[in-house]
Structure 1
């Protein structure tokens, strides 16, 4: 895989500089820009879109002046639906996390996460994989009120476990010796069967039901 490009959005210069310094030590990650608030981030990323220099992944804080993280994610996903955005926040309250994921975040980490978790989340996001902080995943899983009484087939459970572990459709296909198209179809059917809206919600359902353990 080529280098993964990253854009950092945080209103604290020290946080931005610290993240940049750490990520630049990773051989396969390159920080290509940063913004100090959501409004600036939206403007900069829209400009980059016109120049075809968008980053692979955006690291987004939630609490910022001018335009907060949820507002920025909402605006960006409207214009740039394929942009991968990972939230890096100090807050793990269910409402904030739900708002960020509903807006279109593709991952959620806490700022006290181990640095290796941040780089892992960036790589996962680029590959369309789910990556949630374990503490956040537990909170969200326990707050879910969907999928009760639904019975999944043995194959669907296998697929769901792999989704919850962060596997992409291609990785699911390789593990189960099926085609990528079949894996994608299984994931879509599972999400529909459980009455969910996203891959992340499916992963959380698996955690809540004890199919996958989080540390």
Structure 2
């Protein structure tokens, strides 16, 4: 067992023992990674992750949308400090969006290369502010379309202005609505995105393609021109 101070501790959660063993074999030769647990899907995963509280959980989501989202939320409940990397054969846009909105830090298909998996794991460990999504471009486009529909037009506008650094009173003036209405739109957006704060909602909106950096920059330039 490696005992390097900067080890990234990992628990592998997958219903297939053979797949778990394959992942563990890949990770075991990396000097900065230590596998501290492995288990199948369900109650065992909650127990193992809750006890180990690893830096990263590699989570299989092959059981489908609602079960995967429920499992993800359960793992984060018993180990809120863990970063969850979803590893799956499914690339349905809605599933990708739902899992990221539920708190996944990365989404990787099982046909990814060894190098892609390792880069993803290290990235989410070092930078919790970014979400890594390794799926085909077609999936991302479908994901953007699905998640644009998740928020109303006004909720999206409010989040874009929040991301641009505006306070609620400024947003109200910008959109010609009351400050209370701004707060209501933000509350609705938090609920739909599974966020608990302004920053959390903006990060998820950006990661899901609901709010784009280009749009924010253009809006900021227009305001500066005034």
TM (norm. structure 2) is: 0.62
Deviation at 1:197, TM superposition (A): 2.2
Q: CA RMSD in A?
A: 3.3
Aligned residue pair count: 169
Aligned partner of 2:109 in structure 1 is: 110
Give, in angstroms, the shift of residue 200 of structure 1: 3.9
Match in the other structure for 2:131: 130
Q: Is the 8 A contact 2:14 2:60 kept in 1?
A: yes
Please list the CA deviations of residues 41-61 of structure 1 after superposition, one character each: whole Å capped at 9, or x if unmatched.
10112233xxxxx21100000
Which 5+ residue runs of structure 1 have no aligned equivalent?
49-53, 157-190
Report the alpha carbon displacement of residue 207 of structure 1 after superposing the two structures with TM: 8.9
Q: Highest CA radius of gyration, 1 or 2? A: 2
1:141 positional shift: 2.7
Query: In the alignment, is the contact (CA less than 8 A) between 2:86 and 2:108 conserved in 1?
Result: yes
**Structure 1 residue ranges, 4+ long, deviating more than 4 angstroms after superposition:** 148-152, 206-211
Q: Deviation string for 1:110-165 (max 9, x for gaps)?
A: 1011111111111111121321114254432343315469877xx96xxxxxxxxx
| Cα distance in 2 for residues equivalent to 1:100 and 1:38 | 16
Q: How far apart in 2 are the matches of 1:94 and 1:73?
A: 17
Tell me, in whole angstroms, the C-alpha distance in 2 between the residues paired with 1:140 and 1:111.
19
User: Secondary structure at 1:5's aligned position in 2?
Assistant: strand
Aligned equivalent of 2:11? 7
The TM-score normalised by the length of structure 1 is 0.65
The whole-number CA distance in structure 2 between the counterparts of 1:198 and 1:63 is 28
Tell me, what secondary structure is at the counterpart of 1:197? helix
CA contact (8 A) 2:86 2:104 kept: yes
Contact 1:73–1:104 under 8 Å retained in 2: yes
What is the rounded CA distance, in whole Å, between the counterparts of 1:119 and 1:81 in structure 2?
22
Does the CA contact (< 8 Å) of 1:38 and 1:68 recur in 2? Answer: no
